[in-house]
Structure 1
């Protein structure tokens, strides 16, 4: 088996796009030192995909989303995932709603809430992006 290291390179997975899979986000979260459940990783992946549909995301943007999502799971004060204009906020809300229409999404939200330290009543979909 040929590996990237055979050529002096390392493996790179682009994770700041609409086509990002949750395993790529999980890998990046682990690289950043965050411990999250698969359900939480899948939830933040939906947010990254929705934001990538609104505007191009840099690696730093995806890292900020992961970092702020993790912070929001374990804090009673909520940070915005990214700073967005009002037009971007509207587009993000529409894209997130579209992506959340997936049948398994409700179950995923329930799992994330169950694993989170904050009660579900504290969290609101509109408050996640400022």
Structure 2
């Protein structure tokens, strides 16, 4: 029996992201998986996230961590960029809930 973990959703938990990252041969700390999950949730609030998008976000997040960069995790329109900035402002100073 196999288990399908849906990870391209606003409702996803960090263990689903960890599972998918490991399938992609990407290893991070639990704190990094949780932060990556929070980023996916922010982006999912702005637009629908497909499986390919989630994979791209995970890879880009990991690359940023490894290289010490802060490059965009996903190509966004100008309106989506504005919405993301607002989401990040809302999240600043308060902890984003990231379920298991």
- Residue-pair matches, total: 97
- Find the counterpart in structure 2 of residue 116 from structure 1: none
> Whose RCO is larger (CA < 8 A, sep 6+)?
2
Q: TM-score, normalised by structure 1?
A: 0.67
Q: TM-score, normalised by structure 2?
A: 0.86
Q: What's the RMSD between the two structures over aligned residues? A: 1.9
For 1:12, which of 4, 9, 33 is the aligned residue? 4
* Compared CA separation, residues 103 and 49, structure 1 to 2 (3 A): closer
d(CA) in 1 for partners of 2:76 and 2:84? 9
- Find the counterpart in structure 2 of residue 40 from structure 1: 32
- Please give the per-residue CA displacement for 1:8-61, whole angstroms capped at 9, x wherever unaligned: xx2111111110101100111111111100110111111000000000000000
The aligned runs of 1:27-106 (5 Å cut-off) are 27-103=19-95
- Find the counterpart in structure 2 of residue 113 from structure 1: none
Q: CA deviation at 1:102?
A: 2.8
- Listed as ranges, the gaps of 5+ residues in structure 2 are none
- Listed as ranges, the gaps of 5+ residues in structure 1 are 106-130
